[in-house]
Structure 1
Amino acid sequence: MGGGRKRGRTQRRHFKQGRDNVWKHNPQRPPASAAGEGGEGREGNPSWQPFATENPAFEEYYKEQQTIPKEEWDDFMSMLRKPLPATFRINASCQFFQDICSQLENDFRKSLETEVSDEHEEDAIRPLPWYPGNLAWHLNFSRMELRRNQALESFHEFLKQENEVGNITRQEAVSMVPPLFLNVQPDHHILDMCAAPGSKTFQLLEMIHQSTKPGLLPNALVVANDVDVQRCNLLIHQTKRMCTANLIVTNHEAQNFPGCNLAKFCSEMCTDESKLQRLEFDRVLCDVPCSGDGTVRKAPDMWRKWNAGMGNGLHRLQVEIAMRGMGLLNVGGRMVYSTCSMNPVENEAVVAEILRRCGDSVELLDVSNELPELARRPGLTTWKVRDRGSWFGVHEDVPCYRKDVISPSMFPSGKGSKDNRMVSSSVEVNTNVVDADMKDSTDIGEGEQETKIAIDDSNNSDNPNTEGRAKVDCESGEAKDSYKKLDSTSIRTEHSDYPLHRCMRIVPHDQNSGAFFIAVLHKLSPLNENQVVEVIKSEHGNLKDRTEKLEEDLGSGKVSSEETILHQQVVDGTNVLDGEQNGDMDNKSSKDKGSNDSKVIVNEAENGQAGTRDRRRRPQNQGRWRGVDPVIFFKDEVTIRSIVSFYGIKDSFPLEGHLVTRNPDASHVKRIYYVSKSVQDVLDLNIKVGERLKITSLGLKIFERQSSKDGSPCTFRLSSEGLPLLLPYITKQILYASAIDFQHLLQYRTIKFPDFVDAKFGEEASALLPGCCVLVLREGHQDIGSIAMDPSAIAIVCWKGKTNLCVMVSPLDGKELLERISLRFGLEVPKADGPKQEIDGSDEQPDCATETDDQECLPQSKASDMEISDVKEVE
């Protein structure tokens, strides 16, 4: 973990797997075959019981916070107990965008009308009115209904197939909102701080490509970061469907995302103003780890796991991540802070703390005129904090032994008690060092990065012993009377002076969705670093004073060792220099031990052995992040000339400086990637500053090594992902097929030259050099010279053998393309199990199915090992 510093339990423990779909895998749910209409499944399985969609602590908490008016409470709770409708988004930059829109409007929308089951819903499927361009669609069916309703089977298959090839993305509706408020422009550098599983990152990539002319690369850049290496694999799998050269995936703690400032690493500044000298971003998406109680409709197991301590435990981490994002933001830039939680401690309190630390350098924007059809509620200006079964409205009322856990920033004013700047006069003795409100808690946060809290405690928030603990005066060591819990109706409250009503809270019953919180922040000027440092020094100074006093009292026997452990955990959990947020994180905090060491630290922390390990980081060798292959610019002139000559690539296509690989041995390179100019500039900067970015994936796979028995003149074949980018610049090894021959080739995958319908086409194919070639669909009597220059041209990669032509696209992509071709030209859609042609065994027959995701950079876990059906919408 970054910097080698100790962390609180909440920050040390991260999910290593995606969220389990408890609707799908409920062990008490009857088998699909036994669950029919009229409750047949229940009769067949008497032990089956539905999830208990209630939690008294949850209802008490949010009634007290008054996030929902009393007259709406029943509607609110009723909606939370209903399964979440399925939603998806169309990729407007995909090749078949218009075809998909037409199919939804003219085919599925009509055929699904008879399946409407909700009396409140008029349409079975409809576009979301607030999403621009009718690109997002709402279904009147839950994900479980889509899986189990036979009448929806064809539509469900359509969704799965189009999602896997990247034409649509299955994503929760409210999760689509934060990127829309970033106001992304075609030349923006964008940072997604907690990006996994990647649906929002994919949405950002759609935006930058949609704003660029087809066939051209945008000037924009997206850097998608996640703390966990395995979740980075999921992120890579999701974003590879976009086939973009404008993405970099990194693996860092978001709160310690490294700064790349050339001025700090070079004695003289680079004189070339066109070169990037400091890595800053025009837009930052800060979708932080959260308690995730806004997802109860999708993850009903949250009802059982939720408690008030989850939000309290994440607050400090959320502030750190948001402050780091603000430090990386350009002046004039916009940052969106969001969570899928309804808890004001994770929402308004964090936003208020950002404004408090940044002063006049940052403003909270009023975006009420943007997306006017989106139903939203204003943010709260007053709230309370619950700790150990008690409610507190001001930090002064928090017991002194809990003031290090319940920080002033959790309250509306953000101010601590007057004696908080000195040693507290009394400390309550408590051998239970863990918050009782965090018993058996598991944070299922969205943030595209999820944090797991699993803290054992034998007490609960209603334990009567909470009121009966003895208090010890820190000066005399004498016991005092136990304090009484404050009644929530009589506690003091305070209001925030910041315009928090400009924040947005989306509640489920307003538009049949999940819950979400969004705040849009604008950076007006460089952060006042001195002001930020003073705030942090003040907080750390208080902790230091109390630590020294506790150590003295421990030596004199006035307080217990357990209480000192509690205090030390708090100190360790807040030991972050936020004063660096406006600049670059130092070398210590930006280095990473690698995923293996991180796992060891986590395991030791869980086993109570965290203090026995030397956490000082060993310096990393430049460019050698453990477990991740380096990024190398590919400069093998012989290979590049061979590729250019074989495919006749025009000089107008820029290759120099745009080709990278992950293998430092040029003679054994398997894949070559293409990066945009914006990514190239970041890579140049990263090399100059000592490769501080831990890059797990980047670029667009454009060439791949392919061996051949017949000895092809070129050892590298074209990649299907990179073909659309390269197609307008290829002049050799290219064929133009009629719709019927194109369909037959996709259907049978290998056809001998004499067997093509167009005999002339078969002769042209046989005349090509052996090896890789491109097959372009010729529509009608199109002029061949203009087809390849058309960015909407349909083309696939093939292999020309001695006697036949073989397609080199994955079976899934081939199936989807075959259906599109058949529908567009009115051809009969072939059956799935059609006859196959005999193939000459002497020809080189590359197995198309082996063209899988590249995992050179992440050997520890493979995206291909995941069940593809579970990689869909996971937010």
Structure 2
Amino acid sequence: MGGGRKRGRGRTQRRHFKQGRENVWKRSSQPPPGAAAGEGDEGRGDGRDGNGNSSWQAFATENPAFEDYYKAQKIIPEEEWSDFMNMLRKPLPATFRINASCQFFQDICSQLENDFRKSLETEFSDEHEEDAIRPLPWYPGNLAWHLNFSRMQLRRNQALESFHEFLKRENEVGNITRQEAVSMVPPLFLNVQPDHHILDMCAAPGSKTFQLLEMIHQSAKPGLLPNAMVVANDVDVQRCNLLIHQTKRMCTANLIVTNHEAQNFPGCNLAKFSSGTCMDESKLQRLEFDRVLCDVPCSGDGTVRKAPDMWRKWNAGLGNGLHRLQVEIAMRGIGLLKVGGRIVYSTCSMNPVENEAVVAEILRRCGDSVELLDVSAELPELVRRPGLTTWKVRDRGSWFGTHEDVPRYRKNVISPSMLPSGKGTMDSHMASGSVEVNKDAVDADMRDAANMVEGEHETKTTDDGNNGGNPNTEETSKLKSDEVPNMSDKKSDSTSIHTECSNFPLHRCMRIVPHDQNTGAFFIAVLQKISPTNESQVAEVIKNKHNFSDDKAEKLEKGPGSDKVPHGENTVYQQGVDDDNVSDGQQNGDMDNETSNDKNEEEAKVIANEAENGQAGTRDRRRKPQNQGRWKGVDPVIFFKDEATIRSIVSFYGIKDTFPLEGHLVTRNPDASHVKRIYYVAKSVQEVLELNVKVGERLKVTSLGLKIFERQSSKDGSPCTFRLSSEGLSLLLPYITKQILYASAIDFQHLLQYRTIKFPDFLDAKFGEEASAQLPGCCVVALREGHESIDSIATDPSAIAIVCWKGKTNLCVMVSPLDGKELLERISLRYGLKLPKADDVKPGMKIDGSDEQPDLSTETVDPQAVPESKSSDMEIADVKEVVE
């Protein structure tokens, strides 16, 4: 019974992450009646009439239930309410962040300051009181920038076309990340250090993970890998694929991507897997983290400026239904945190039930083991409001200030932890709990919100036959009719409700509201683990679950059958979806497995069918180590130890002994003779992988490491069967002594421009001769300009180089067209070279279809980087909006 319920919880959680949403300010295909051409580009939504034809309809930016709720919660002073609401109805300005660890960081900063900033201010000086583009004052190092343009304006305004193309291109190659400003805040409060192990519990789609990777790489010494490591986790496989694609732009060997429910993230404690043997205490190993980012799934009402359809879908039940899951995830994060470590809890919701109530429950459970930090002195230019110390809970049209006021038949829905009194713990009510997304709480308030929009009275009765209600609780069905209170008799006026203050220092929490700095809304709390937590305290959220019957669990997952709520109305959004770093066609590719997509999809269907049929024990089998150490549908992580192949690679490229290879190479294929790709992992990742093997493969690893070598077949008979990967070249370049050429800027430019050039056609005849003399196969071409000697290139981590293929008569580049175009523009700007036009190509310089060219499909279209054909509606909507 328990196993069946856990399967349901995971499926419910994943289903809510996949729900679609119309989360954009769109331009309709046809204007409203009487509107001039081009008028009203913002604030519209595309609709369909009864015949399925496209029709115009405005996004509603009104929701009486929303206003009533947040006025009652007093998240801002009453005199600021009109400013608050007016800002919520405006589209969100575009923001982006520069990757300070990228090779062209200084060039991009210079281009922004000297080119785009000046041109945009000149072009739009009369239209904006503030700067058209400016750095965010609170983000360190002027790395984050704010635009006084919405995403729609960026796409529509011709004067912004070149800047928009710049943003898209640099985002795709990883030099910048388009991300909502407030979404950048939580990682900054982690205070990441160069040697930290970091866990991002709910990481997809990956903007914050990318930000953490930037931090650890920026802190490392030039040319060396950092000692730090990031484990990025997400519950949904498709969202993991999206996460992998986004973080691949970083080209890092310090990342592990896992696929687990955050609240059940596995512990890797070697002492528990030592087969009873006595071990020296100093040799005990366990996976713990110095920093944990707990950016939990939430109702997402802080994203209303970016996702205007939230106005229609919002209801108070969304936050009530997610509260328990949020507590579970946060408590698991604390359990995985080292003593002295920091955990940041954050949401993109303004709801105190999802914010202060969760933090208060964490403090209540952990006692003196965890401290809520006062970080008001950090990021002083970030305007933030203190957390609330008192709030109320709204349920079925009624307000409750204390748990004693909650009717008995609703006490399993409205738990003591949702309220500020601090008198109760979750122990008393967990025995009658529910799945983490409490459908009863969501549905009741959804109907209430809908009725408020229609002008009906706020209060609701509990007559299911008349109102379509569905308490979904056994307690309600057992109550006699005279025991069920008439909720319409309770006052809905929140001012008459008695409330209590929390006795925890919740004012140390932060709530960012939109009208302070023209942003979205966010909530952040920073906690520190002072001493070890009681294991029973941390685990009691999970162990005190109530075992639902199969029919009740199915009913909760599928939604109440009597409510007639359209599919998608109960959508709950994952916090990470607010990040603007996804481009078209990149929704959910990149799972780093060498098994075919068909096989993975087939196995996924089997798992889904088993779950739907309620087969007991299926989930338990999946949680145990699989045969050959494999998780179902995920290739194992294998340390690559084929000495003959490694010797061949080292000899062919002349790799120095100072570059550590032993223990750092992994593959996803246990058959060494058929390995297609070899990945490099940092020492910190290596240690975690070794621990994971010892404890029985408890981590479900979907991606890790940096692709450094790739099998390459050609007709030229290269002595080495593995070529260098462009992703790992920067890591390996200082250690290569063979198969390397040094080109002038003009010849380097021509290679990027024409991609294939015959040896006699290089302007530098000596370079052509040197290229011809190389062994057939993969080689490296480094840019000679900017270095006093050739030796300095090998020791300069910022040296520019590309992977090429040396054939019988020509040299061919092996970088993707997108990366080649970006690199071409960078060196042209840096060295003042003129980009040649296509008409300037000399006969014979460009060779198409030459037999001497290797198969480059693996570089330009990596099978691991191809998005799957099926993706969630939410991902597709987000992708089209972000970079269209």
- TM-score normalised to structure 1 length: 0.84
Q: Note if 1:751 corresponds to 2:757.
A: yes
Instruction: Say if 1:211 and 1:864 are closer, same or farther in 2 by CA, change over 3 A.
Output: farther
Counterpart of 1:102 in 2: which secondary structure?
Answer: helix
The Cα of 1:497 is off from its aligned counterpart by 0.2
The corresponding residue for 1:14 is 16
Aligned partner letter, 1:347: N
Q: Note if 1:407 corresponds to 2:403.
A: no
Instruction: Say if 1:117 and 1:414 are closer, same or farther in 2 by CA, change over 3 A.
Output: farther
Aligned partner letter, 2:212: L
| Residues 670-709 of structure 1 mapped to structure 2, 5 A cutoff | 670-709=676-715
Q: Note if 1:814 corresponds to 2:790.
A: no
CA contact (8 A) 2:416 2:424 kept: yes
For residues 871 and 735 of structure 2, what CA distance do their matches in structure 1 show? 32
For residues 715 and 651 of structure 1, what CA distance do their matches in structure 2 show? 21
The corresponding residue for 1:184 is 192
Q: Note if 1:306 corresponds to 2:314.
A: yes
The Cα of 1:52 is off from its aligned counterpart by 1.0
Aligned partner letter, 1:104: L
Unaligned runs of 5+ in 2: 48-53, 433-438, 467-474, 561-599
Q: Note if 1:385 corresponds to 2:393.
A: yes
Q: 2:100 aligns with which of 92, 97, 101?
A: 92
- The Cα RMSD (Å) is 4.2
For residues 660 and 388 of structure 1, what CA distance do their matches in structure 2 show? 54
Q: 1:237 aligns with which of 233, 245, 251?
A: 245
| Residues 507-546 of structure 1 mapped to structure 2, 5 A cutoff | 507-531=513-537
The Cα of 1:784 is off from its aligned counterpart by 0.9
The corresponding residue for 1:345 is 353
The corresponding residue for 1:175 is 183
Which stretch shifts more, 380-389 or 10-19? Answer: 10-19
The Cα of 1:5 is off from its aligned counterpart by 2.9
The Cα of 1:22 is off from its aligned counterpart by 2.7
For residues 840 and 514 of structure 1, what CA distance do their matches in structure 2 show? 50
For residues 683 and 441 of structure 1, what CA distance do their matches in structure 2 show? 49
For residues 473 and 850 of structure 1, what CA distance do their matches in structure 2 show? 61
For residues 440 and 602 of structure 1, what CA distance do their matches in structure 2 show? 34
The corresponding residue for 1:57 is 65
The Cα of 1:831 is off from its aligned counterpart by 3.9
The Cα of 1:215 is off from its aligned counterpart by 1.1
CA contact (8 A) 2:397 2:448 kept: no
For residues 295 and 226 of structure 2, what CA distance do their matches in structure 1 show? 24
CA contact (8 A) 1:739 1:777 kept: yes
The Cα of 1:829 is off from its aligned counterpart by 2.3
Q: Note if 1:80 corresponds to 2:88.
A: yes
The Cα of 1:708 is off from its aligned counterpart by 1.1
Counterpart of 2:528 in 1: which secondary structure?
Answer: strand
Q: Note if 1:870 corresponds to 2:873.
A: no
Q: Write out per-residue CA displacement over residues 303-325 of structure 1, whole angstroms, 9 at most, x where no aligned residue.
A: 11000100000000000000000
Q: Note if 1:766 corresponds to 2:762.
A: no
| Residues 240-639 of structure 1 mapped to structure 2, 5 A cutoff | 240-267=248-275, 277-416=285-424, 435-439=443-447, 462=458, 464-466=460-462, 482=486, 484-486=489-491, 487-531=493-537, 617-618=620-621, 620=624, 621-622=626-627, 623-639=629-645
For residues 521 and 716 of structure 2, what CA distance do their matches in structure 1 show? 60
| Residues 117-156 of structure 1 mapped to structure 2, 5 A cutoff | 121-156=129-164
Identity %: 80
For residues 775 and 200 of structure 1, what CA distance do their matches in structure 2 show? 34
CA contact (8 A) 1:87 1:170 kept: yes
The Cα of 1:787 is off from its aligned counterpart by 1.1
CA contact (8 A) 1:439 1:459 kept: no
For residues 150 and 527 of structure 1, what CA distance do their matches in structure 2 show? 58
Counterpart of 2:294 in 1: which secondary structure?
Answer: strand
Which stretch shifts more, 321-330 or 469-478? Answer: 469-478
Counterpart of 2:805 in 1: which secondary structure?
Answer: strand
The Cα of 1:489 is off from its aligned counterpart by 2.4
The Cα of 1:627 is off from its aligned counterpart by 1.3
Q: Write out per-residue CA displacement over residues 580-626 of structure 1, whole angstroms, 9 at most, x where no aligned residue.
A: xxxxxxxxxxxxxx987887887999xxx777877663355242111
For residues 638 and 422 of structure 1, what CA distance do their matches in structure 2 show? 58
Instruction: Say if 1:315 and 1:117 are closer, same or farther in 2 by CA, change over 3 A.
Output: farther
Instruction: Say if 1:282 and 1:526 are closer, same or farther in 2 by CA, change over 3 A.
Output: same
Q: Note if 1:729 corresponds to 2:735.
A: yes
Q: 1:222 aligns with which of 219, 227, 230?
A: 230
Instruction: Say if 1:421 and 1:630 are closer, same or farther in 2 by CA, change over 3 A.
Output: closer
The corresponding residue for 1:201 is 209
The corresponding residue for 1:775 is 781
The Cα of 1:694 is off from its aligned counterpart by 0.4
Instruction: Say if 1:679 and 1:39 are closer, same or farther in 2 by CA, change over 3 A.
Output: closer
For residues 298 and 728 of structure 1, what CA distance do their matches in structure 2 show? 44
Instruction: Say if 1:4 and 1:257 are closer, same or farther in 2 by CA, change over 3 A.
Output: farther
The Cα of 1:795 is off from its aligned counterpart by 0.2
For residues 521 and 245 of structure 2, what CA distance do their matches in structure 1 show? 27
CA contact (8 A) 1:433 1:566 kept: no
| Residues 634-653 of structure 1 mapped to structure 2, 5 A cutoff | 634-653=640-659
The Cα of 1:788 is off from its aligned counterpart by 1.6
CA contact (8 A) 1:28 1:49 kept: no
The corresponding residue for 1:454 is none
CA contact (8 A) 1:10 1:314 kept: no
CA contact (8 A) 1:226 1:232 kept: yes
The corresponding residue for 1:802 is 808
Aligned partner letter, 2:490: K
Instruction: Say if 1:869 and 1:356 are closer, same or farther in 2 by CA, change over 3 A.
Output: closer
Unaligned runs of 5+ in 1: 425-430, 443-457, 549-560, 571-593
Instruction: Say if 1:535 and 1:275 are closer, same or farther in 2 by CA, change over 3 A.
Output: closer
CA contact (8 A) 2:413 2:441 kept: no
Counterpart of 2:267 in 1: which secondary structure?
Answer: coil
For residues 861 and 526 of structure 2, what CA distance do their matches in structure 1 show? 35
The Cα of 1:120 is off from its aligned counterpart by 6.2
For residues 374 and 202 of structure 1, what CA distance do their matches in structure 2 show? 21
For residues 865 and 693 of structure 2, what CA distance do their matches in structure 1 show? 17
The Cα of 1:643 is off from its aligned counterpart by 0.3
For residues 252 and 815 of structure 2, what CA distance do their matches in structure 1 show? 18
For residues 220 and 16 of structure 1, what CA distance do their matches in structure 2 show? 32
For residues 688 and 704 of structure 2, what CA distance do their matches in structure 1 show? 11
Q: Write out per-residue CA displacement over residues 819-862 of structure 1, whole angstroms, 9 at most, x where no aligned residue.
A: 01111111112347864734386543135454157555999668
CA contact (8 A) 1:29 1:49 kept: no
Counterpart of 1:5 in 2: which secondary structure?
Answer: helix
CA contact (8 A) 2:94 2:150 kept: yes
Aligned partner letter, 2:722: F
Instruction: Say if 1:250 and 1:872 are closer, same or farther in 2 by CA, change over 3 A.
Output: farther
Q: Write out per-residue CA displacement over residues 280-310 of structure 1, whole angstroms, 9 at most, x where no aligned residue.
A: 0000000000000000000101111000100
For residues 654 and 563 of structure 1, what CA distance do their matches in structure 2 show? 52
The Cα of 1:125 is off from its aligned counterpart by 0.4
For residues 225 and 564 of structure 1, what CA distance do their matches in structure 2 show? 27
Aligned partner letter, 2:721: T
Counterpart of 2:102 in 1: which secondary structure?
Answer: coil
For residues 647 and 224 of structure 1, what CA distance do their matches in structure 2 show? 33
For residues 381 and 420 of structure 2, what CA distance do their matches in structure 1 show? 30
For residues 221 and 298 of structure 2, what CA distance do their matches in structure 1 show? 38
- TM-score normalised to structure 2 length: 0.83
Counterpart of 1:824 in 2: which secondary structure?
Answer: helix
User: How many residue pairs were aligned?
Assistant: 810
Instruction: Say if 1:145 and 1:3 are closer, same or farther in 2 by CA, change over 3 A.
Output: farther
